[in-house]
Amino acid sequence: MERQKTYKILTLLLLMQWAFVQILSQYPSFIEKYYSNGLYLYISKFMRLILGWLPFSFGDLIYIALIVVILYSIFKLFKKKKIALKTAFFKIGALASILFFVFHLNWGLNYLRPSLSSHLKIDNKPYTDEELITFTKKLIHKTNQIHYSITNNDTILIQKNISKKEIREYSFEAYKQLATIYPQFKHQTSSLKNSLFSVPLTYMGFAGYLNPVTNEAQVNYLIPKNSYPATVCHELAHQIGIAPESEANFVSYLATKHSKNPFFNYAGSTMALRYCLADIYRKQPAQFELLKKELNKGILKDLKESQEFWQSYQNWSEKYFKLFYDSFLKANKQKDGIKGYSKMVTLLINYYNIEEHQL
C-alpha cells in the first residue's frame, strides 16, 4: 500500500516537474547563468571524474538494465489473470518522473539556454541562395586544399594511419586549441567511449550520442574513420552543454577547424560541406551537379564511401527511430525537430560573414 502511494506521488510530481520546466523555459538567461554556467559544470565534471576512467560505457549498462526491467515488468503485468491498469499507470508514471528529473538535472536544461548564435554574437538571419553558393564554393576550395596537403594527389582517398582510439585522445587537444580562442568551450576531464550499441545505432542511422544520466559521450565505432573526428567533437560539444544538434555540429566544426591536425581539419570541412551541398541539392539540383565537379576526386570517393556505408544499413526501422528522436527534440523546445540539423548552414554562413571571410 505504501508503495502504491509512492507511485502516485511520483506521478503527480511528474506533472509538477513538467510545469516547472515550462516556466523555466521563459528565462533562458537564468538557465545560462545558474545552470549551464553554474550547477551543470559541477555535475558534469563530477560524473566524468567518477566514470571517465572506466574503459566501457557505464551509461549503456544502465540502459540495458532499464530495458530488462521494463520488459520484465510488462511480462509480469500480462502474466497476471487480471491486469491492474491503474497500478500499471502509476508505476509507469513513477518511472517517468524519476527519469524526467534526472535527465533535466544532469543535462537536459541546457536545451533552454540562449542560442549559440546570440552567445557568439553571430547573426541568425536567413541566407540567400547566392550566399549559400558563394560560401560553398569557398568551402570546396578550402577542402580541396586540405585534402591535397594530406595526400599530395587530388584523386586519392585519404587513408590516415591513425586509430580511432588516437582520434578520441586527440579530440581533447582540439578543444584545448579551441578554448584559446573561445574560452567558453573549455573541456575538462575525459569521458569519451565507444558505444556498446554501435551495431543497432548504425541500423537506426545515428553516429553517436551523449548519455544525459552519466555524462559519457558515446561514439559509434563502426562509422567511417574520415568522419570520426567530427563526430567525436560533436559529442564533446554536447558534453560541455551544447544541446541543439545544429549547434553541436557547429562547435564540432570550430574545434576541427582550429585544430593543428590536418586530418581533423579535413573531417570538419567535409562535414560542413555535406550540409551545404545537401541544402543546394534540395533547392537547385543543377547547381549541385556543377559544384560537385569542382571537388577533388579523392573527396568524391570519400563522400561516396560514407554514403554507401549508411545505405548498407538502411532498413524499415530507421524512419521510426528518427521519428521518435524528432518528437524528443520538439518536446525539448527544439521546434524544428530533427530538421534543426539544417540550421548548421545558417550558423556557418553567418559566422563566415563576420569572420572576415576566413574559413
Domain boundaries, the chain: 2-112, 116-354
Q: Is 266 exposed, middle or buried (0-12, 13-18, 19+ CB in 10 A)?
A: buried
Instruction: Dump pLDDT digits (tens) for 68-100.
Output: 887 877 777 666 655 566 677 788 888 889 999
Q: Which range in 21-25, 186-190, 318-322 is most confidently predicted, on average pLDDT?
A: 21-25
Q: What is the pTM of this model?
A: 0.90
Q: Find the angle CA(17)-CA(18)-CA(23) to the nearest 5 degrees.
A: 95
Confidence of residue 119 (pLDDT cuts 50, 70, 90): confident
DSSP 85-147: HHHHHHHHHHHHHHHHHHHHHHTGGGGGSPPHHHHTT---PPPPHHHHHHHHHHHHHHHHHHH
Is residue 228 within 8 Å of 254, Cβ to Cβ?
A: no
Of 22-26, 74-78, 108-112, 126-130, where does mean pLDDT reach its minimum? Answer: 74-78
Which among 241, 216, 255, 250 is positioned nearest to 32, based on CA atoms? Answer: 241
Q: Write down the residue that cell numbers 544520466 correspond to.
A: 213
All 3 cell numbers of residue 335?
A: 521546434
Say how far apart CA 240 and CA 188 lie, in whole Å: 9
Cβ-proximal residues to 166 (8 Å cutoff; 6+ apart), any chain: none
Is residue 256 within 8 Å of 267, Cβ to Cβ?
A: yes
Say how far apart CA 26 and CA 22 lie, in whole Å: 7
Average pLDDT over all residues of the chain: 87
Instruction: Dump pLDDT digits (tens) for 292-333.
Output: 999 999 999 998 898 888 888 876 655 544 454 455 445 554
Other C-beta atoms within 10 Å of 233: how many? 31
Say how far apart CA 222 and CA 309 lie, in whole Å: 9
